[in-house]
Amino acid sequence: PRLEVEIFAAARIFSLTRREADIAIGLSGAEHLRVASRRLTDYRMFVYGTKSYLKRAAQIRTKADLAQHPFVGYVEELLFSPELSFSGAVGVELPARVRCTNLLTQVHATLSGHCLCIIPAYVAADFPALVPVLPDAVAVTRTFHMHVHEDHWKSAHVRAVANFIAEEVEANTGLFLDGTG
């Protein structure tokens, strides 16, 4: 079909009821009655650092050891979704010394070799220099949901794209859970 796809990757919530998008992927279920929500997959995040950082920094044997290391993280006051707050999710307080509103900026700060960061496994998989730290002890799980306004669901092209997204996510579950595709 004649289809134009625009991907808007931004840290904000889109209103499907105001027709700001045909399909939205979010971290929580739909809160509006006329929006159909479908759970796509869980995804896991781990603490990552570079091999060079981990070689020269104080050894990390337990979750408590993480508090002695610099972290990069989100600006809590500017989070567009409470699911992005990791406060309490790890079981030890990890105050970020560097904060930014963009995940890729956090990844590149971590790649500089001077800090640790909580990063989704599917993102870290693209950066071989990143190594998970205590992956059996420290993992944060969140869930992706796909949302479509019920009026848009009637359109064949919207259904086709939504089904394609769901099929691709399902085919790559390992990537979302542990970074292996």
> What is the DSSP secondary-structure string of 59-95?
P--SHHHHTTS-EEE--GGG-SSGGG--TTTSSS---
pLDDT at 30 over 60: yes
Q: Is 180 part of a structural domain of the chain? A: no
pLDDT at 12 over 60: no
d(CA 123, CA 142): 14
Q: Is 167 part of a structural domain of the chain? A: no
Tens of pLDDT along 118-149?
Answer: 999 999 999 999 999 999 999 999 999 998 88
Q: Is 146 part of a structural domain of the chain? A: no
pTM above 0.95, yes or no: no
CATH of the domain at 61: 3.40.190.10
Confidence of residue 157 (pLDDT cuts 50, 70, 90): confident
Which pLDDT score is estimated for 35?
Answer: 77
Domain of residue 109: give its range: 43-140
Which pLDDT score is estimated for 9?
Answer: 58
Q: Is 34 part of a structural domain of the chain? A: no
Q: Is 59 part of a structural domain of the chain? A: yes
- 99 to each of 8, 142, 155, how far by Cα in Å? 23, 21, 41
**Structural domain count of the chain:** 1
